[in-house]
Amino acid sequence: MATTTEHRFDADTAVVAQGGGIYTAVCSSDWGVPMGGPNGGYFAAILARAVLAEVDDAERRPRSLSVQFLRRPAYDVELRIAVTIERVGRTMSNVTVRAEQEGKLLALGMAIAALDQTVALDYTTPAPVLPSPDDVPTLPVHPQMPPIASRYLCKPCLGPAMFSGGDEALTGGWIRLVDPRPFDALAAVAYLDAWLPAPFTMVSSPLIAPTLDYTVHLRAALPVEELDPAAFLMLRMRSTTSASGMFEEDCEIWSPDGVLLAQSRQLALLAPLRGQAATPASADPAPSAS
C-alpha cells in the first residue's frame, strides 16, 4: 500500500502538524488548472487531510466535507490550516477548517466524521452503463493542457464530446490517477473535481469554471480493501442549470462493479477566457481542449 513518501498524491497533499489544531502545507503547481492556481478538489484534499489528522479516529470515517473557496492559493508558499473539533458526540464529530496564506483567508470548510449508523433503509442511484475501460481509449495529454491533466488517466465515454456544441451538460467515463493508489477518502475529494466541467460539452471553445462551493459526501467505507489500486473507476458529471454566470454540477463515482463510492455537488462560475467571448453551441467545435 502507498505511504506518504511513496506516492506523489500523498506527498503533494501532505500536512505538518504544528500543535493546537494548526497544520501547514504547500500547494504543488503539478495540480494546476487554467488561469492559474491549483485544482479545487486537490486543494480540498489537503484540507481533508488536516481534518482527518485532527480527528485522529479510524472508526469515525469522513462522511462529508464542504468548502467555500475565497482566493486561489499561491504555489510553494506555506498554507496555515486551522482545524477545530466543534463537537464530539456519541457517534459523530463536527469539524471546521480554515486555510490562510500570508495572512489572507483562502478557504472555509465544515466536515463530519462519524461511526457507521444503524441501517433503516438502503437504496442507491444506479451506475451508468459504460463499455469496458479496456475498450475505451485514454484521453491524450497535449502540451497546452494544464498540469493536472498529466496527473490522471481519463477515458471519456459518456455524454457529448467536450467542446462539441452538445445538447446537454453531461460527461463521464473511467478515471484513475496515473500512478496506482488505493482509493480512499482523500482520493475521492480530488477525483470528484478532476474531470472537465460538464457544461464544456455544450460549447465550442474553452471557458473558465472556478469552483466557489464544493461539497463531497463519502458513501462507502473507504478504502475498499478488495478494490485494485490500478482499477479505473466510473465517473458521471452533469449540470442542469447555468444562470447569472454560475452553474451547479453533480458528480458521482462508482467502483467497477457498480458500488457508489462518493458524490459531490459544486457551485462554480462559468465565464469566457479573458479577451474572448464564449462560442455558441451552434458554432464549429474547437479542435482540442485546453
pLDDT tens for 34-47 read 878 999 999 999 99
Confidence of residue 2 (pLDDT cuts 50, 70, 90): very low
CA separation, residue 244 to residues 145, 194, 247 (Å): 28, 24, 8
pTM (2 decimals)?
A: 0.92
In the predicted model, what is the mean pLDDT of the chain? 92
* CATH code assigned to 8-115+132-272: 2.40.160.210
Cell output for 69: 473557496
pLDDT tens for 69-126 read 999 999 999 999 999 999 999 999 999 999 999 999 999 999 999 999 888 999 999 9
In what helix (H) or strand (E) does residue 153 lie, and over which residues does it extend?
strand 152-158
Cα separation, 218 vs 236, whole angstroms: 15
Q: What is the pLDDT of residue 119?
A: 87
Cα separation, 64 vs 48, whole angstroms: 10
Q: What is the dihedral of CA 150, 137, 278, 194, to 10 degrees?
A: -40
User: Does 6 score more than 90 pLDDT?
Assistant: no
Q: What is the pLDDT of residue 52?
A: 98
Domain coordinates in residue numbering, the chain: 8-115+132-272
pLDDT tens for 163-213 read 999 999 999 999 999 999 999 999 999 999 999 999 999 999 989 999 999
Cα separation, 288 vs 163, whole angstroms: 8
Cα separation, 179 vs 30, whole angstroms: 14
Overall average pLDDT of the 260-283 stretch: 76
Half-sphere exposure of 163 (CA within 13 A, CB side): 15
pLDDT tens for 113-150 read 999 988 899 999 999 999 999 999 999 999 989 999 99
